[in-house]
Structure 1
């Protein structure tokens, strides 16, 4: 019998999760979105069942649900999943506020549900390469890092008005986007001991969120990290620099390699990333942007593997809650 999935939301992440569920499991997929135009497109693009409302969910009887709507609506579908005993994967941030998450965690655990909060960058070849070098000790102890992530907001989803996309509106959960980088930094370096953030708005974009957020994260047993995120740069910027006792490591997306400098050899070495991007589609409207796709596939595969093995540990759920607690406190407290 085929595994049955519902994908709620058919924006950029929903499209990916539909494809992942179909290609990785051969399962049966149903789709629900409030927008008829998106539903029409998904019905034409994929072999999916179209649902007309939440009332149709129970009749379809899913084994699991992918929640790919704006963060402000995540809890609606997590609550439905918990009530009906359905496993779920939810995109990050897990919610637009942390108030109800302890209750959601307890009830999901009590029902033995398999849960996953997306942590896409954790599964990138870049992050895994960084992890390997850190754990090998070849460059000694890591001391500091600088991370930059920036792109002009209208270019994030060029196929739709940027005002339709949640990062533009606090009411939809916008302004918490730095969580995508905080999540992989915590994966590499552990708990944050001290932190500070400053956000501001410098563009004329029609948004009520900050278009620049700067964070300083001081990890308990790791480096001090400067994290810069913005919605301003007209060409995507994804830069990482790690400074170690015995060298330096850098990566610039979409380069398929990292650069490693060793003080012992006084040489920069390029090391290829373990990615095969050739067969993966690029995001709609963004040619040559498929370098991000492998991490999304691995993220979904992580959830699907736990589903197959019936592994209901709460590690991912706990990480998602901790990430939101940290970013919510920093960003909502720093906005001005």
Structure 2
């Protein structure tokens, strides 16, 4: 360790979401930022600060590890780089915090399993909600049997995304990288992935596990010029026969969600990010209620957990690559259906020139109705 008990950290990817990690790390006194890896560091708003503090900047992960070590490697790079960079970091002595999604390729799961076993290093995955006190408290009560058997979990996320979002990088909305590595960037594998994963996570039979899914039926749509999809209606069933419904779209004009309703034998849990004071609220059939708090809060909890775990033996992340496996596998089944993605017809398309937002008439209403009824819509076209 560097500077007493302060762990060394390397941040791989400092632009995009990586900027949040960089800001947190520059403000902290319980960790030493040993270096950063970024091919375009000069584009970072923190570039001058990095230089002022003499924090080393490297263009490749290999160059960093030639000169340094790190107890924690944070990977906040494009999807198709996650597996390769995580493997390299673990093989060079680092535990890993990898941003979601873990990977676009289900075949990578065995690679993560193998390298973690061989190196003895854990690899946490940054599904934000899984690390929050509110979700942990709710899951503890579910595991304790307070809610009884799960019946149906359903989630709605309507998040508009402009042309700028889809043009933010060369990999946005793409199926594969130039070398053929899976990306599979889509609304379900990126922006709203947290909320799809949360349904799997809440139903896991231990704090660090997710439920398995045996059936996936997806209706996929797009209005934006991407290779994957920006709207989906997905019906799933877990191996314990719990129904899951996930409805999400970028092809809308107004932001709404995440909203969820989790129905159990003894009660239900509801949440809406649109509430004046968002909180997960449980209502039990015996008339009692419970307020679990807001999981949709600043996302530093995952970093806090990882830095604390570096001082603990046998630490097990509440969400690691195994926990994230169900999300990877479900997206694998969804992505097998990309050839069946439906294009929204021209007569339903609307364009807001001031924001450069392309959206579709009627999508918001149809998905909202489907959520209320707990079933996938017959069609969004």
Q: TM-score, normalised by structure 1?
A: 0.79
Give distance in 1, aligned partners of 2:46 and 2:293.
32
Q: 1:174 aligned to 156, 165, 185, which one?
A: 185
Residue 131 of structure 2 contacts residue 301 of structure 2 at CA under 8 Å; is this kept in 1?
Answer: yes
Aligned to 1:252: 272
Identify the match of residue 13 of structure 1 among 13, 17, 23.
Answer: 17
2:62 equivalent to 1:51: no
Q: Distance in 1 between matches of 2:251 and 2:133?
A: 26
- How far off its partner does 1:111 sit? 1.7
Does the Cα contact within 8 Å between 1:62 and 1:86 map onto a contact in 2? yes
Alpha-carbon deviation of 1:72?
A: 0.8
**CA pair 236-37 structure 1, distance change in 2 beyond 3 A:** farther
Alignment partner of 1:66 is 2:88: no
C-alpha separation in 2, matches of 1:91 and 1:301:
14
**Preserved contact between residue 30 and residue 48 of structure 1 (Cα < 8 Å):** no
State whether residues 200 and 326 of structure 2, in contact with CA within 8 Å, keep that contact through their aligned partners in structure 1. no
Q: Which structure features the higher share of helix residues?
A: 1
SS at match of 1:308: coil
Aligned mates of 1:106, 1:94 — CA distance in 2: 15
Pair 1:132–1:167, CA change in 2 (3 A): farther
Number of aligned pairs? 311
Match of 1:333 among 330, 337, 351: 337
- Please say which of residues 98-107 and 42-51 is displaced more in the overlay: 42-51
Per-residue deviation, 1:147: 0.7
Find the partner of 1:242 among 255, 262, 275: 262
- After superposition, where does 1:276-315 map in structure 2 within 5 Å? 291-293=296-298, 296-311=299-314
Instruction: Report the CA distance between 1:313 and its aligned residue.
Output: 5.3
Specify whether residues 238 and 56 from structure 1 end up closer, same or farther in structure 2 by C-alpha distance, changes over 3 A only. Answer: same
**Structure 1 stretches (4+) deviating beyond 4 angstroms?**
45-48, 135-140, 312-315
Equivalent in the alignment of 1:194: 214
- For structure 1, which runs of at least 5 residues remain unmatched after alignment? 276-290
Alpha-carbon distance change, 248 to 4 in structure 1, aligned in 2, over 3 angstroms: closer
Pairing 1:108-257 to 2, within 5 Å after superposition: 108-124=116-132, 127-128=135-136, 130-135=138-143, 137-154=145-162, 161-165=165-169, 166-171=171-176, 172-175=183-186, 176-177=189-190, 179-190=193-204, 191-203=211-223, 205-221=224-240, 223-233=242-252, 234-254=254-274, 255-257=277-279
* Aligned match of 1:287: none
Contact 1:87 1:114 in 2 (8 A): yes
- Distance in 2, matches of 1:24 and 1:327, equals 38
Question: 1:137: how far off?
Answer: 4.7
Residues 10-41 of structure 1, C-alpha deviation per residue, up to 9 Å, x if partnerless? 234312222444427232242222224433x1
- Whether 1:87 and 2:98 are equivalent positions in the alignment is no
